[in-house]
Structure 1
Amino acid sequence: MIDKTKTIGATKNFDSAKINELISTGLINNVANLERAIFSLEYLGQLQKEGLDFIFKGGSAIQVILQDKWARLSVDADICSNVSEKELIEIMSNIYQKFGKTAFSFKFRDRTIAGSIPFYLFILEAPSIAVIGETRSCLLDVMGIKPNYATTQVALKTPFFDSDLTITTPTIGALLGDKLSTIGPNTMGRHLVDSRNGLEYAKHFYDIKTLQEADFNFKDCCLAFHEAIDLQSKIRSKNLSVQECCEDLFFTCKVASLPQNISEQLIAKLSEQPRMRARSEFRILRDGLARFRPFLVRGLTYSWDDLRYCAALTALLTKMAQIDLSEKKIKAILKANMPSKKEEIQSVAAKVAAVPEQERWFIQLSELVNFPRILQTWHGYFFLEPAT
């Protein structure tokens, strides 16, 4: 068991009775994931206490920044810091020593990144809180440069973790822009090779929808999105353009918006190369979604049709980040009422029907009229125009 006298988080965070209470009330449905999430946040506090200057981003940061709007567990920590590998190892060793070498052991993960920006990737381990004899592991990803994101100070607290610390995160808008840059398997995003990657994409789509529902500054979002593309160019030693990154993202969003029951029929419309890509991505995303459900909290659900909407929203937000729109117009589009009456839905569908079929290959209008918010969101994407 972890030494509670050394933790920065409140001692109740590490009480097995508290863990069991969170599970029994249905707030969280997976003990292992809950404990991994707790240890991940505790470790961030330990890093800060040891003097590391960093920006906390990714899914775990969303838990902290959204507070009561929290929707899923994140079990890994993603930070950015202008720290050398030697300095980081020294800090991590100090934490391990502090806990008497019984918690927060660490080892490098194998991942080759050949670009000019250093990455330090670790697996952390600590003894289970609620299950004697078991060990929990979580991941720590450190990008060795601090991006030029708008930031804010937030309390290091969630519904399952309490502490007195404040921590630096991107603003909600900047976090949204950073999240948009995670989609695009052939350019700026993670590759879609297997269900593990599909799980990550399911998380990213869900996070984008959750962040968009909060009050955010779209300028922060746009600046972070473009900054992230510049960083990914350096990380991958490629000269990635905004246009190619967005087109890559749009294709994956269209695949993720396919209806399950007629996906093959729609994919068959494509020429050979995009058809092969669409089939592979559809399978991986579907498998990844199935793996995502244990991370949901408060009895929330996330179906394929929910993912379809999240993907449509991701495409719309990304297209907005490409062009010059006022904050007022963006908010008006995002907060517009969804069509509810039959004639309203048919009117939107008629406009989408006018879009060239090669652009809307993933849409079967007779099916999509049953999902007005997906239809409306793709309509917004197709008819979005720059400010004049």
Structure 2
Amino acid sequence: MLLQENFAEEHIRELQRTSRRDPVLLERAVYAFGLLEALAKVGMPFIFKGGTCLMLLMEHPRRLSTDIDIIAEPGTDLDKYLDRASEIFPFKAVEEQKWIGKNNIEKRHFKFTYDSPINNRPFYILLDVLFEHNHYSELVQKEIQNDLLLTEPEYLTVSLPSANCILADKLTAFAPHTTGIPLNCGKDMEVMKQFYDVSSLLEIFTDFQQIGPTYGKIAQAEIAYRRIESNSKDCLWDTFEAALCIASRGKVSKEEYPIYVKGIRELRSHIYAENYTPEIAAGRAAKIMYMVACLLSDTEYLRVNDYAKFLDMKIEQEKLASLRYMRKVNPAAYAYVIKTDRLLAELQG
């Protein structure tokens, strides 16, 4: 369980000292897990999803996330659980936020208020609840503990999608012209959060066969919510083109690249594990393109261990010509470009 010391200024300042990150973001990330544990304590049935769940899935948190996103079965009586959760330390109250969505999605939004030790005033953690049946083919149980938290046995657990399934979910979210967060609508950082999470999950997923079926279910649900004229393959190609723009550093889709760069710069303060740059993003975009090509061609995603053997290979697809520069500046990424290149040839053949 979480120790009360998590919610004291001393702990937040110590995290600030070791990470050199914004203490307000650190505070909100820690308090978000306080809310998660409160929901678990009152026995509320839910699936934990979204960016914050990656902070449990991954061995070490990489991106600070400050909201709690959950899925509840349609018809779940939330109020009896949330009122009790709002009485658990460090929270003071809960208030529902009435938002009118632009699509056919049943959601509720709540603010859980607490006294901020950093700002010395009331602040809140957002809880977003999506009412739908479970689309994930694989759920796992995770204890509420990570590098940010002070804990002691016994640990409470929550149910969340496996890395394989949340990767599929995040791929649908990084598709800015179809099922994902749209470009150029004031959410540039949110777009790049999805990109960052996809690239992080590519490092830890374990079963390629779980990704495609889950992706198909979630993509179809998102298409239906948005009432758009697309199919799951269109959404995958959307992700591919967005990743190609980032990988090419604007040589492809030149007008969109500054939006991605703006999102990267805004995201930097939220990255716990590294100093994130457009150059780093470009290299990781190659892996995303390869995953998309694997899903489109139903070809197993194979991680590259020996990058050197790809250096003598040439890019054959004109679509990827703008990525030739990676051969010199990022041989690891170039290997994934070559693998993508060969799969594109098969798809076109």
TM-score of the superposed pair, with normalisation by structure 2: 0.88
2:295 is the counterpart of 1:307: no
Partner in structure 1 of residue 36 of structure 2? 44
2:47 is the counterpart of 1:55: yes
- Decide which of 242, 251, 270 is 2:232's aligned counterpart: 242
- Decide which of 252, 264, 269 is 1:294's aligned counterpart: 269
CA distance in 2, matches of 1:47, 1:240: 37
Partner in structure 1 of residue 10 of structure 2? 17
CA distance in 1, matches of 2:102, 2:57: 29
CA distance in 2, matches of 1:141, 1:339: 46
2:330 is the counterpart of 1:337: no
CA distance in 1, matches of 2:206, 2:123: 34
- Decide which of 352, 355, 374 is 2:317's aligned counterpart: 355
Task: For residue 241 of structure 1, report the CA deviation from its aligned partner.
Answer: 1.0
CA distance in 2, matches of 1:165, 1:337: 41
3-state secondary structure, aligned to 2:189:
helix
User: Mind listing any 5+ residue stretches in structure 1 that lack a counterpart?
Assistant: 1-7, 268-274
Give the AA of the match of 2:280: D
2:347 is the counterpart of 1:378: no
Give the AA of the match of 2:296: Q
**Could you tell me whether the CA contact under 8 Å between 1:197 and 1:284 is conserved in 2?**
no
CA distance in 1, matches of 2:326, 2:296: 30
- Decide which of 103, 128, 131 is 1:114's aligned counterpart: 103
Percent identity, aligned pairs only, is 21
**Could you tell me whether the CA contact under 8 Å between 1:55 and 1:146 is conserved in 2?**
no
Give the AA of the match of 1:222: G
CA distance in 2, matches of 1:28, 1:122: 30
Distance 1:32 1:104, change over 3 A: farther
Task: For residue 247 of structure 1, report the CA deviation from its aligned partner.
Answer: 1.6
**Could you tell me whether the CA contact under 8 Å between 1:76 and 1:139 is conserved in 2?**
yes
After superposition, what is the alpha-carbon deviation per residue over 1:312-348, rounded to whole angstroms, capped at 9, x for unaligned? Answer: 211211221233234xxx3xx31332238xxx53x23
- State how 1:209-220 maps to structure 2 within 5 Å: 209-220=199-210
3-state secondary structure, aligned to 2:187:
helix
Q: Which has the higher contact order (CA 8 A, sep 6+)?
A: 1
2:167 is the counterpart of 1:192: no
TM-score of the superposed pair, with normalisation by structure 1: 0.80
Partner in structure 2 of residue 271 of structure 1? none
Distance 1:181 1:38, change over 3 A: same
Task: For residue 224 of structure 1, report the CA deviation from its aligned partner.
Answer: 1.9
**Could you tell me whether the CA contact under 8 Å between 2:86 and 2:112 is conserved in 1?**
no
- State how 1:215-294 maps to structure 2 within 5 Å: 215-238=205-228, 240-259=230-249, 263=250, 266-267=251-252, 278-279=254-255, 281-294=256-269
After superposition, what is the alpha-carbon deviation per residue over 1:104-145, rounded to whole angstroms, capped at 9, x for unaligned? Answer: 433315341432x41223344322134423x33333222101
CA distance in 2, matches of 1:123, 1:193: 27
CA distance in 2, matches of 1:97, 1:107: 15
CA distance in 1, matches of 2:143, 2:156: 6
Q: Work out the number of aligned pairs and report it.
A: 341
Partner in structure 1 of residue 162 of structure 2? 171
CA distance in 1, matches of 2:8, 2:269: 22
Task: For residue 375 of structure 1, report the CA deviation from its aligned partner.
Answer: 2.2
Distance 1:366 1:235, change over 3 A: closer
Task: For residue 99 of structure 1, report the CA deviation from its aligned partner.
Answer: 5.8
Task: For residue 198 of structure 1, report the CA deviation from its aligned partner.
Answer: 2.0
**Could you tell me whether the CA contact under 8 Å between 1:187 and 1:248 is conserved in 2?**
yes
**Could you tell me whether the CA contact under 8 Å between 1:185 and 1:249 is conserved in 2?**
yes
**Could you tell me whether the CA contact under 8 Å between 2:74 and 2:133 is conserved in 1?**
no
CA distance in 2, matches of 1:70, 1:88: 29
Distance 1:151 1:296, change over 3 A: same
Give the root-mean-square deviation of aligned CA atoms.
Answer: 2.5
3-state secondary structure, aligned to 1:122:
strand
3-state secondary structure, aligned to 1:297:
coil
CA distance in 2, matches of 1:57, 1:103: 24
Give the AA of the match of 1:293: R
Give the AA of the match of 2:16: I
Distance 1:38 1:106, change over 3 A: farther
After superposition, what is the alpha-carbon deviation per residue over 1:20-47, rounded to whole angstroms, capped at 9, x for unaligned? Answer: 21212x2351111111111211112222
